[in-house]
């Protein structure tokens, strides 16, 4: 079941947007439209986000990714095309229906946190529940639970300005998680954080996702982040989605030069797994060192250096599914 489906979705800002969409469909470029005074932010976007996956939209600033994410909860209305959330078209909803979707189905985490500075951490976490109209004690109970989930128990009476950046974004995450919505939109959620804190937050999100199984639409301009977090990645450029695939597909088979150039900067050893590069199991001896098939190459290089023989790659049931010898590893890195 797909949680979010975009089908030829367009968003154009400026005068006579419908006409601009017609021009785009007829082959006009983004630059053509800009000369005429309208901005094509998202052009013919089609993708689907499966329930329970982390779907990353990766693009540089101006690629239209922020506009795309804002259409999913109706903060921006699509100019043309379909955008289905749980099968219901966002573009056809009235204001009240959109509010209901935002209250009950889709919550959001913001780049600059967007916490309410006049409310305590606990009150911030409870905001969505207050809007949902839950009783006070229920609001507070669930807000505290969400704060505990992100590791902020005991901070509920602080105000956001007393917190560091990383902690503030944890509050932003708790505010979104507390609502209990199954879809989470994360708009460059970790981009404003220091590298170390960012890393920590990514790990925390991955851990939470493992437990909660939300559907997450994650926006970033950082391909390394996209590769770390994403089950699948959509690469955006100039308003268009140029490739959708798993991190490994994008790494090994970039759709065009643009994507290929991006991939150059990615540390492959942190993306590629043993399963993605392994050779047939025949190479592995009976007493070979065993490594998990989901292990990243970065973690395997040291092991391989210490053991001249090929490593045995095993699945969850400890069955040998492949082998990794030094040649295979080097070839994978050289690609």
Partner 1 sequence: MTTQPLDVQLLDLQPLELVPRIELGAVVESAFNWLKTNFDAFFDALARVIGVPTDGLIELLQAPPPVVMVLIFALIGLLLRGWKFALGALFGLLLIVSMDQWEAAMETLALVVVASVIAIVIGIPVGIWAARVRAASTAVRPLMDLMQTMPALVWLVPVVTLFSIGVVPGVVATIIFALPPGVRLTELGIRNVDPEIVEAANAFGAKPRQTLFGVQLPLALPTIMAGINQVIMLALSMAVIAGLVGAAGLGGQVTAALATLNLGLGFEAGISVVILAIFLDRLTMAIGQGRANPGLLSLVFRRRTDPSKPLVTAGAEEPAAGIERAHDMNHPEPTQISTSTMERTS
The residue among 170 and 237 lying less far from partner 1, judged by its C-beta, is: 170
For residue 121, state whether it binds partner 1 (rule: CB under 8 A): no
For residue 107, state whether it binds partner 1 (rule: CB under 8 A): yes
Span near partner 1 by CB under 8 A; candidates 35-43, 107-115, 208-216, 232-240: 107-115
Task: Report the distance separating Cα 236 and Cα 30, nearest Å.
Answer: 14
Minimal distance in Å, beta carbon 36 to partner 1?
24
Answer for which of 116, 253, 327, 335 binds partner 1 (CB under 8 A) is 116
Minimal distance in Å, beta carbon 299 to partner 1?
21
Residue 128 CB burial class (10 angstroms; 0-12, 13-18, ≥19):
buried
Q: Provide φ and ψ at 80, rounded to 5°.
A: -155, 165
For residue 152, state whether it binds partner 1 (rule: CB under 8 A): yes
Minimal distance in Å, beta carbon 161 to partner 1?
7
Span near partner 1 by CB under 8 A; candidates 114-122, 244-252, 299-307, 317-325: 114-122
* Of residues 161-220, those binding partner 1 (CB under 8 A): 161-167, 170, 175, 179, 185, 197, 200
The residue among 75 and 330 lying less far from partner 1, judged by its C-beta, is: 75
The residue among 111 and 273 lying less far from partner 1, judged by its C-beta, is: 111
Span near partner 1 by CB under 8 A; candidates 104-112, 241-249, 250-258, 287-295: 104-112
Minimal distance in Å, beta carbon 163 to partner 1?
5
CB 232 within 8 A of CB 56: yes
Compose the 129-148 pattern: x for residues touching partner 1 by CB under 8 A, - for all others. -xxx---xx--x--------
For residue 296, state whether it binds partner 1 (rule: CB under 8 A): no
* Of residues 38-97, those binding partner 1 (CB under 8 A): 73, 75
How far does the chain reach from its first CA to its final CA, in angstroms? 35
**Binding residues with partner 1: total (CB under 8 A):** 48
For residue 102, state whether it binds partner 1 (rule: CB under 8 A): yes
3-state secondary structure the chain: CEEEEEEEEEEEECCCHHHHHHHHHCCCCHHHHHHCCCEEEEEEEEEEEECCCEEEEECCCCCCHHHHHHHHCCCCCCCEEEEEECCEEHHHCCHHHHHHHHHHCEEEECCCCCCCCCCCHHHHHCHHHHHHCCCHHHHHHHHHHHHHHCCCCCCCCCCHHHCCHHHHHHHHHHHHHHCCCCEEEEECCCCCCCHHHHHHHHHHHHHHHHHHCCEEEEEECCHHHHHHHCCEEEEEECCEEEEEECHHHHHHCCCCHHHHHHHHCCCHHHCCEHHHHCECHHHCCCCCCEEECCCEHHHHHHHHHHCCCCEEEECCCCCEEEEECHHHHHHHHHC
Task: Report the distance separating Cα 221 and Cα 63, nearest Å.
Answer: 9
Answer for which of 108, 146, 229, 259 binds partner 1 (CB under 8 A) is 108
Answer for which of 122, 239, 245, 254 binds partner 1 (CB under 8 A) is 122
Answer for which of 151, 207, 213, 280 binds partner 1 (CB under 8 A) is 151
Minimal distance in Å, beta carbon 44 to partner 1?
25
Minimal distance in Å, beta carbon 177 to partner 1?
12
CB 200 within 8 A of CB 39: no
Residues forming contacts to partner 1 in the complex (CB under 8 A) are 73, 75, 99-104, 107-108, 110-112, 114-118, 122, 127-128, 130-132, 136-137, 140, 151-158, 161-167, 170, 175, 179, 185, 197, 200
């Amino acid at each position: 079941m797909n949680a979010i489906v975009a089908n030829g979705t367009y968003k154009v800002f400026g005068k006579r947007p419908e006409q601009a969409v017609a021009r785009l469909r007829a082959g006009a470029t983004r630059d053509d439209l800009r000369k005429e005074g309208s901005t094509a932010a998202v052009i013919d976007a089609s993708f689907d986000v499966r329930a329970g996956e982390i779907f990353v939209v990766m693009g540089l600033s101006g690629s239209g990714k922020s506009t795309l994410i804002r259409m999913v909860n109706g903060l921006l209305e699509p100019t043309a095309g379909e955008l289905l959330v749980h099968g219901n078209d966002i573009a056809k909803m009235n204001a009240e229906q959109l509010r209901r979707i935002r209250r009950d189905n889709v919550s959001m985490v913001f780049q600059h946190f967007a916490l309410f500075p006049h409310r305590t951490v606990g009150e911030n976490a409870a905001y969505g529940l207050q809007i949902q109209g839950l009783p006070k004690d229920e609001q507070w109970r669930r807000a505290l639970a969400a704060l505990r989930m992100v590791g902020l128990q005991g901070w509920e009476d602080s105000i956001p300005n007393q917190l560091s950046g990383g902690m503030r974004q944890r509050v932003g995450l708790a505010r979104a998680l507390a609502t209990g919505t199954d879809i989470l939109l994360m708009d460059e959620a970790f981009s404003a954080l220091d590298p170390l804190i960012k890393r920590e937050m990514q790990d925390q999100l991955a851990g939470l996702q493992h437990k909660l199984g939300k559907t997450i639409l994650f926006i970033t301009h950082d391909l390394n982040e996209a590769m770390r977090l994403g089950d699948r990645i959509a690469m955006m450029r100039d308003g268009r989605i140029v490739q959708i695939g798993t991190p490994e597909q994008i790494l090994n088979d970039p759709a065009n030069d643009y994507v290929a150039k991006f991939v150059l900067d990615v540390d492959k050893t942190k993306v590629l797994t043993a399963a993605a590069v392994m050779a047939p199991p025949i190479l592995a001896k009976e007493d070979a060192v065993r490594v998990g098939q989901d292990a990243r190459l970065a973690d395997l290089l040291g092991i391989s250096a210490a053991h001249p023989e090929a490593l045995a790659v095993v699945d969850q049931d400890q069955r040998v599914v492949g082998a990794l010898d030094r040649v295979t590893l080097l070839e994978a890195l050289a690609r």
